[in-house]
Chains A and B, each alone.
Chain A
């Protein structure tokens, strides 16, 4: 292997990308756009959910005291950012609204709500419990969860205000990720995803062209070896990977104010190794396509596994257990994991080395396979 030949190839690939405005846009503008779109769309919690409150609570007047309207207090404690509250009196009319899709749920407080709640809390043997009924459109899980969470928060706030302390209390005391929002979880994932996707696809297309234009044959008839060629590509795309991440991180920090606790250089390292294995994957796939049009058919094959399995948009724990082993067969899983650990938890190389090692193994295997397919195509 001669370094000057590797660098000649690397410069050539670099020139080719820089000369082509579309490639540049794909490499640098598309990821920014993707991050912004995903970031804005996913960052929002559920808001302005229309609900109808049917408050039939008659209140309860204890001996020698004022009448207490518990339902009113709960309604006042509902988070009005999440829920847009409308009041109605007829349960049937309210149900009709849900059925027609105008509102997401009806929240019903019965006549004896305060009475049951207070009597039950004073005497455990009292037969009736106070009940809040939510009749809703549960078909959209996020909205359903938002309604239930909002109501139960308002409920426990009201109880606390009335001096009723629950027997068991749950305390959350974060070790990592205090005040982390979805975007903080998301950005490290999208770094890995973007680099994986664009590097694989760009190498695939570039290399298919290299095959169909005869340049691959001319280069291989020269002193350049298959290994030097693959290494040349690796250097360029590894560099592009680092540049993409630098750009994305800058924007993520400036615009989305994301959390970076650890050493950003480690995230660069993880993504650079990812980019190197991805370009080798692109070369591998290119041997299965004769023209760029055929290469496009591989896109879903490249995009979907990473999108679904590598823990970019949702944690791997949310993937059914029997599929999870496949998650560990796609390289972006490790890059997303490493970036997240570095950025959110501030972990160092001493803790993320298994992810880095996995990425290095992928890179070595893919590079070797890429060289092997190039050599094999001579037969």
Chain B
């Protein structure tokens, strides 16, 4: 069955807000065990797409299969991890309390949760801040807490919406090392980013513009195809090409 090979498979997925089309008949395929990077300007529909895939936004039309199951599906929710742009952590709780809360809603056993929290805090380098109120942490630290909360239940599929904003370069590199390690263990990651050095580390990249996927391939192929030497230039080339085609249709 085709749906089984893909962690994400969308079928003419569309989302309208009134007259505005945020996601337009999108057919996206993400293979299991890959890191897929979504690139595109603000307002291209990346976040809306992710929200639909996490079942927190209902598509206007079309549908999607996540990990082989048609969404919305009650069982899928415990297998995915969603890291929202707005961080999605409780500022009025300590780091520890945040992580315990997320471990509870995924029904982690107490010892298991303790172990995960210790591991993850070590990974995001926040062991010394465990009992600090999130409100008192810097922006980058809040993002690190958010990532740790996303990973607490060892999800099979990760949706990371700009996870490295405000994170210092050194830590960003270690984040990506960890993402690759997760991928090597079979975890699928859909990630949005504006950093081109990060995009280069993806297995596959999709360029999004005005709710559509205008180009998709491995980073190297995209550079080759566009004849440019940076992904920014490649994106602009594809975007211009797309605009010309649209003009031609009109």
Contacts and interface: CB of A to CB of B under 8 A. Distances in A.
Interface in A348-379: 378-379
Contact of B89 (A8, A212, A213): A213
B24 interface: no
A142 interface: no
B125 to A, nearest CB: 22
Nearest to B103: A8
A221 B55 CA distance: 6
B167 to A, nearest CB: 17
B92 A20 contact: yes
A372 to B, nearest CB: 14
Contacts of A220: 56
Given A221-B55, A224-B105, 15 more contacts: A2-B107, A4-B107, A9-B105, A11-B101, A15-B97, A15-B101, A19-B94, A19-B133, A213-B91, A217-B54, A217-B56, A220-B56, A221-B54, A221-B82, A221-B159
B105 A8 contact: yes
Contact of A378 (B57, B94, B106, B107): B57
A5 interface: yes
Nearest to B78: A223
Contact of B88 (A9, A214, A224): A214
Contacts of B54: 217, 221
Contact of B86 (A5, A15, A212, A379): A212
B105 A16 contact: no
B87 interface: yes
Nearest to B92: A16
A76 B193 CA distance: 90
B51 interface: yes
Contacts of B77: 221-223
8 contacts: A8-B101, A19-B93, A209-B91, A214-B87, A215-B89, A215-B90, A220-B56, A221-B54
Interface in A1-50: 2, 4-5, 7-9, 11-12, 15-16, 19-20
Contact of B56 (A12, A15, A209, A221): A221
A222 B84 contact: no
B58 interface: yes
A218 interface: yes
Given A217-B82, A378-B57, A222 B106 contact: yes
Interface in B125-153: 133, 149-150
B58 A218 contact: no
Q: Closest 5 interchain pairs by CB?
A: A214-B86, A8-B104, A214-B84, A218-B88, A214-B88
Nearest to B161: A214
A213 B54 CA distance: 17
Contacts of B159: 221
A20 B136 CA distance: 13
B88 to A, nearest CB: 4
B92 A219 contact: no
Interface string B62-103: 000000000000100110101111111111111001000110
B248 to A, nearest CB: 34
A9 to B, nearest CB: 7
Contact of B90 (A12, A222, A224, A378): A12
Chain B interface extent, by class: 20 to 34
Given A222-B78, A379-B58, A5 B105 contact: yes
Interface of B: 51, 54-58, 74, 77-78, 80, 82-94, 97, 101-102, 104-107, 133, 149-150, 159
Contacts of A224: 105
Interface of A: 2, 4-5, 7-9, 11-12, 15-16, 19-20, 209, 212-215, 217-224, 378-379
A28 to B, nearest CB: 17
Contacts of A9: 105
Nearest to B150: A218
Contacts of B133: 19
A209 B85 CA distance: 15
A22 to B, nearest CB: 10
A23 to B, nearest CB: 8
A221 B105 contact: no
A5 B103 CA distance: 10
A212 B55 CA distance: 18
A56 to B, nearest CB: 73
A5 B106 CA distance: 8
A217 B101 contact: no
A212 B92 CA distance: 14
Contacts of B94: 19
A224 to B, nearest CB: 5
Contacts of A219: 105
Contacts of A214: 84-88
A12 B94 CA distance: 11
A205 B93 CA distance: 16
A54 B64 CA distance: 93
Contacts of B150: 218
Given A214-B88, A217-B82, A378 B74 contact: no
A19 B92 contact: yes
Nearest to A7: B104
B64 to A, nearest CB: 14
A12 B134 CA distance: 14
